[in-house]
Structure 1
Amino acid sequence: MIEIMAVLSCFIASVLLTPLVKKLALAIGAVDKPNQRKVHQRVMPRLGGLAIFFSFIIGFLFFQPDKSILWPILIGATIIVVTGVLDDMIELAAKWKLLGQIAAAAVVILSNIQITYIDLPFVGLWELGWLSVPFTLLWIVGITNAINLIDGLDGLAAGVSSIVLIAVSTMAIIMGDSFVAMLGFLLMGSTLGFLVYNFHPAKIFMGDTGALFLGFMISVLAILGFKNITFFSLLVPVIMLGVPISDTFFAIIRRVVHKKPLSAPDKSHLHHCLLNLGLSHRTTVLVIYAMAAIFGLAAIMFSQATSTLWAAIGIVVVLLLAIQLVAEGVGLVSDTYKPLLNFFRRMATKRQG
């Protein structure tokens, strides 16, 4: 019952705050102008992530989850939101955005929110030791940027993040972690309230303020929910975040193949590829929502199958094959990169021959 109240309170707060943030964004010039890389055709107010952030804070003050580690998380979140606000207003250079992300991650890492060991199958316990800090830093910064990269269509990042948060909160409930579940519900309610104004056709964008905040919080919640556990359990949050992680992975591969800087923007992300196939804006977003939901369900199934090693391995293999086939089918790397599809075609030709 309290979880439902948490979601509703943050949802209502976000619905009420978003129009005010929209007026603020327009007043201070925090707007997103169309260009050849972007899908929208008119000037749009951004900074919408402020509504998500303040709604989350309102929910926190109302429900007051009792945990000392919450304060470092809130401080880190504030640093990431300030970074996002500055970027939405004056478009920070990539190095300054990265510095803000590292500073936010450092706050939570110094408060002992870290992945300190991994229990590897067939090998045993692997104490990360000094590697714990860079390992955790890489996770937080990586997921923060992964969510930011999928923020390319109306409602996409907000919807995918909400689906991921549902999965995280569900797993937290299964594992008996009421603290992570409550934070997940507060954040989900705040994001869904913003989605009312952000779904196609959007009236406001979340901007880097929202994308960085959601990515940061999701990465930290995943650490809290799955830290210091087996390698297979560590894969649970990775599977939950399958859409943004795989899109980011193929973006890196694409830029390496085409010999472009890793930070170079392009129009070949998953949502761009689906649009190029002829799908409408709304349909593309709904298709990616469905993908995110499948990954979320797969993560929950995987968590229940980890007691049976080969069942867990089977789920991972199926997911990896599905990701590769989708990537080749929509052209995530290039129109000619289709090794698996070409292999299946050759096998089919041989059978027919």
Structure 2
Amino acid sequence: MLYGIAAATAALLLTAVLAALLRVPALRAGVVDRRRQRPLPLLGGVAVVGVTCLVAWMGEYTGIAPLGEGVGRLLVAAAAVAALGLVADVWRLRARVLVAGTAVAAACVVPYDETGAVGGVLAVGWIVLASLAFKGLDHADGLAGTVGVITAFGAGLVAAAEVMDGLAVLLSVFAAALTGFLMHNWHPARIGLGACGSLFTGFLLSSAVVFTRAGYALGPSVAVVFCLGAVAAADAVLVVLARLLGRRPLLRRGPDHLAHRMRRFGLTPPGAVVLLGAGSFSTVLVGVLVHTGWTGEGAALWAGGGALFAVLVLLRTPVPHPRRTASTQVSARLRVRSG
């Protein structure tokens, strides 16, 4: 207990300091997100991944908080996915490379002996989709980190209920590291997660949930897994539907995510993140209650219905076309310069 508190505190402080230190090197090296009006450095994920792995390794090395073979393999695979994401941040890899790499890593961590062949294939698919969905959540300041922290606490409670102490400690350390990162990522963000941090977040959390549900029946497991990742899943479904209906390329970036559309209702950027964070807390709480048996599987239907309703409402919200937005910004800049 005392070690868990000390480890989480160290992770929070180390990540906050390291994220601040990495901001200037990221700007000088050009590792930035150019979608915004100002370049946003993207090495915040390096701080989160590095500190999480360091603190977890110290617990394993000293024997105070051993991770266990399966959890250690999970962390190594998550770090490999993060490294692939870092390469994407620097050299802009194609999406299919990220998908293939994440799928290979997921296939290496799924406990097939407990999930079975069908459950294992579904688990690999879910881990890949969740990882990419969390990458999509990085479109708004503070959103991926906020949802990630809430989900990590929920998954940690589920792991503790299963007496998976190593996994519970790892998730608490990761949640603390994300909290330290959020000190610099809240609107207006000074540093971002990038593909490195967002893929690591989605992979670690989804794999952890698969670990905790391995051996359970498929139906209840689907309910718990969905509840713990409902916001990320809703964002991904919304984007896919919007782009299919609008006949736009699925992999092209655009202002059509959850937070973008919610701002059309007059919400401020922090207000949209707080509202989505509250939604994530609600669905994660339902998932924890279903897993621990405090409520039936039917509660997950309410969470799913709420997410579907939000997607359908926001789907009808008009968003500016990406090209039109870019041309409008250029025209505005030209008018300012000419004036």
> Conserved in 2, the CA contact under 8 Å of 1:269 and 1:332?
no
In the other structure, the counterpart of 1:324 is: 308
Query: Is 1:47 the counterpart of 2:32 in the alignment?
Result: no
> What is the alpha-carbon distance in structure 2 between the residues aligned to residue 207 and residue 265 of structure 1?
14
> Conserved in 2, the CA contact under 8 Å of 1:46 and 1:206?
yes
> What is the alpha-carbon distance in structure 2 between the residues aligned to residue 299 and residue 8 of structure 1?
27
Question: Which of the numbers 177, 182, 202 marks the counterpart of 1:215?
Answer: 202
Q: State the AA in 1 paired with 2:257.
A: H
Larger relative helix fraction: 2
Question: Which of the numbers 276, 283, 287 marks the counterpart of 1:288?
Answer: 276
Alpha-carbon deviation of 1:259? 3.2
SS at match of 2:248: coil
In the other structure, the counterpart of 1:227 is: 214
> Conserved in 2, the CA contact under 8 Å of 1:151 and 1:211?
yes
- Alignment map for 1:147-296 (pairs within 5 Å): 147-230=134-217, 231-296=219-284
Q: State the AA in 1 paired with 2:283.
A: F
> Conserved in 1, the CA contact under 8 Å of 2:234 and 2:308?
no
Q: State the AA in 2 paired with 1:247.
A: D
Alpha-carbon deviation of 1:6? 2.1
77-86 or 203-212: bigger deviation: 77-86
> Conserved in 1, the CA contact under 8 Å of 2:223 and 2:297?
no
Alpha-carbon deviation of 1:133? 4.4
Runs of 5+ consecutive residues of structure 1 not aligned to the other structure: 35-39, 118-127, 336-353
In the other structure, the counterpart of 2:88 is: 87
Q: State the AA in 2 paired with 1:239.
A: C
Shift of the 257–92 alpha-carbon distance from structure 1 to 2, 3 Å rule, reads same
In the other structure, the counterpart of 1:16 is: 17
> What is the alpha-carbon distance in structure 2 between the residues aligned to residue 262 and residue 285 of structure 1?
24
172-181 or 153-162: bigger deviation: 172-181
In the other structure, the counterpart of 1:125 is: none
Q: State the AA in 2 paired with 1:260.
A: R
Query: Is 1:312 the counterpart of 2:292 in the alignment?
Result: no
Identity of matched residues, %: 24
SS at match of 1:203: coil
208-217 or 86-95: bigger deviation: 86-95
> What is the alpha-carbon distance in structure 1 between the residues aligned to residue 233 and residue 84 of structure 2?
22
In the other structure, the counterpart of 1:348 is: none
> What is the alpha-carbon distance in structure 1 between the residues aligned to residue 309 and residue 70 of structure 2?
41
> What is the alpha-carbon distance in structure 1 between the residues aligned to residue 238 and residue 145 of structure 2?
21
> What is the alpha-carbon distance in structure 2 between the residues aligned to residue 30 and residue 236 of structure 1?
37
161-170 or 246-255: bigger deviation: 246-255
Alpha-carbon deviation of 1:106? 3.3
235-244 or 58-67: bigger deviation: 58-67
Q: State the AA in 2 paired with 1:11.
A: L
Alpha-carbon deviation of 1:50? 0.3
> Conserved in 1, the CA contact under 8 Å of 2:230 and 2:304?
no
> Conserved in 1, the CA contact under 8 Å of 2:75 and 2:204?
no
In the other structure, the counterpart of 1:141 is: 128
Alpha-carbon deviation of 1:237? 2.4
161-170 or 61-70: bigger deviation: 61-70
Under a length normalisation based on structure 2, what TM-score does the superposition of the two structures give?
Answer: 0.85
> What is the alpha-carbon distance in structure 1 between the residues aligned to residue 195 and residue 113 of structure 2?
26
Shift of the 224–133 alpha-carbon distance from structure 1 to 2, 3 Å rule, reads closer
Alpha-carbon deviation of 1:305? 4.3
How many pairs align?
311
